[in-house]
Amino acid sequence: MNVPDSQRIVITGMGVISPLGCTLDQLIEGLRTKRSGVDKFSQIPTGVMVVDHGAEVRDFTGEIEDYGPLDKALQRTIRKGSKLMCREIEMGVAAAQLAILDAGLTPETRDPDRTGVVYGCDYIMTLPEEFAPGIQNCCDESGEFQFADWAAKGLPKVNPLWLLKYLPNMPASHIAIYNDFRGPNNSITMREASPAAVLSEAYSTLHRGHADVLIVGSTGSRIQPFRSLHASMQETLATVNRGATLDQIAAASRPFDKARSGSVLGEGAGAMILETLEHAKQRGAKVVGEVVGSGSSTVGPPAGPNHLRIAMANALRMATRGADKSKIGHINAHGLASVESDRCEAEAIAEVFGQWQPRIPVTTAKGHFGNLGAGGGMVEIVASVKSLGGELFPTKNCDQTDPTCPIAVVTELGTPAGKSFVSLNVTPQGQASAVMILAYENDQAA
């Protein structure tokens, strides 16, 4: 079938902010050498929660240098805007700016009215420092907080613009404002399932002709006092002894391994430039991949104990509809490293790919840096795009694949990544999304 260039949606640039580094080369080198991004916390207090470790982006400080080379005017704009950006939003904006740079998407090569943003995000939690002055002002002589005084004494001490620093639609808003992108602008908050969901939305927007170019990404952080506390109360986290060595901490996230015990907290962001092939050719852009399929499904706990498996299987079927499953190069799995999620995911992969499943290599990056929330899947997709046509990165810490996970987990170097992949992610609530991407070949039959 001959698809016109205006209907083919391609990737022309990528950017990452990750625990393994903030360049594409640092990310892929870290994955291929099995370097860990997990360490003891430095951003939040230790000794107060069930875990003292996570995958922080230590190379990201929020300084203007972290956004890549920018002209002076844009530097001033972002510096000014940083007063209204929390760390999570800053990482998302930085990843987008790096992707724009990587794609060579200059003002001369884009129509601002036909260039937009689709971004994914977690729910963002306010830092406790935002309310501290107000709370202190409502404490009586004995130090007890008096809620009745909040309206008169507490609220006036809170910055009136504090909420703008934490709204999940702000990454897309900031990116559009800084770069004068006046086209479609959308935000999707589906936690870990956000990345493939935003790619699907961006694909549809471009395919129906509502834009020529979209900056697509997602950002997330689970390393924040309230966010980390929520995760420790709601999810199964991999715990290690307080006095654990760095090697023991680095081995905490064990996707599909028989000894896995739970997920690891992390943070990060990823972005890519999607555009029609017609527009990419017109501006002479280098194409690195092509989006050809996507799917999503939500199946909650009322569906039974295997609701995660059903949701993931549904998403995989939709993403690979019409594809020759025997030719899929690899699967970039969610690989959360929780007992239930990994088992359900492996069963979903085996169910959907059937006889071809033993031949399809499966990998995941979460052994290297745990669960980055909404940012994780996009960083993982970027890593898979970078691997197409070359060597696939192995799964770290999977020393003995669990028999309940009947999939071909890649644990060492030497496996070809192939010319296509499927990425899958899921939330604990049963929201699953998947996307299929090909290495770009000008021959449509490829």
CATH classification at residue 223: 3.40.47.10
CA atoms within 13 A on the CB side of 411: 13
Please check whether residues 303 and 349 belong to one and the same domain: yes
Q: Does residue 137 register a pLDDT over 60?
A: yes
Residue 46 belongs to a domain: yes
Check residue 444 and give its pLDDT.
44
Please check whether residues 414 and 332 belong to one and the same domain: yes
Residue 100 belongs to a domain: yes
Q: Does residue 445 register a pLDDT over 90?
A: no
Q: How many domains does the chain have?
A: 3
pLDDT 10s digits, 275-308:
999 999 999 999 999 999 999 999 999 999 999 9
Please check whether residues 316 and 420 belong to one and the same domain: yes
- Domain termination site, one of 282, 306, 322: 282
Residue 445 belongs to a domain: no
Residue 68 belongs to a domain: yes
Average pLDDT, the chain: 95
Please check whether residues 186 and 264 belong to one and the same domain: yes
Please check whether residues 237 and 323 belong to one and the same domain: no
User: What do you get for the CA distance between the two ends of the chain, in Å?
Assistant: 11
Please check whether residues 271 and 297 belong to one and the same domain: no
User: How many C-beta atoms lie closer than 10 Å to residue 200's C-beta?
Assistant: 24
Please check whether residues 52 and 139 belong to one and the same domain: no
Cα distances (angstroms) measured from residue 396 to each of 83, 221, 343, 418 = 38, 21, 17, 20
Residues 6+ apart with CB under 8 A from 109: 283, 285
Please check whether residues 94 and 197 belong to one and the same domain: yes
CB 323 within 8 A of CB 436: yes
Residue 171 belongs to a domain: yes
Under the banding of pLDDT at 50, 70 and 90, the label for residue 164 is very high
Please check whether residues 330 and 182 belong to one and the same domain: no
- Domain termination site, one of 255, 282, 309: 282
Residue 182 belongs to a domain: yes
Residue 287 belongs to a domain: no
pLDDT 10s digits, 198-218:
999 999 999 999 999 999 999
Range of the domain at 85: 9-128+162-282
Residue 4 belongs to a domain: no
Q: Note the pTM of the prediction, 2 decimals.
A: 0.95
pLDDT 10s digits, 144-158:
999 999 999 999 999
Please name which of 292, 283, 398, 274 lies closest in space to residue 342, comparing C-alpha atoms. 398
User: Residue range 376-402: average pLDDT?
Assistant: 97
Please check whether residues 198 and 343 belong to one and the same domain: no
Check residue 243 and give its pLDDT.
81
User: How many C-beta atoms lie closer than 10 Å to residue 390's C-beta?
Assistant: 13
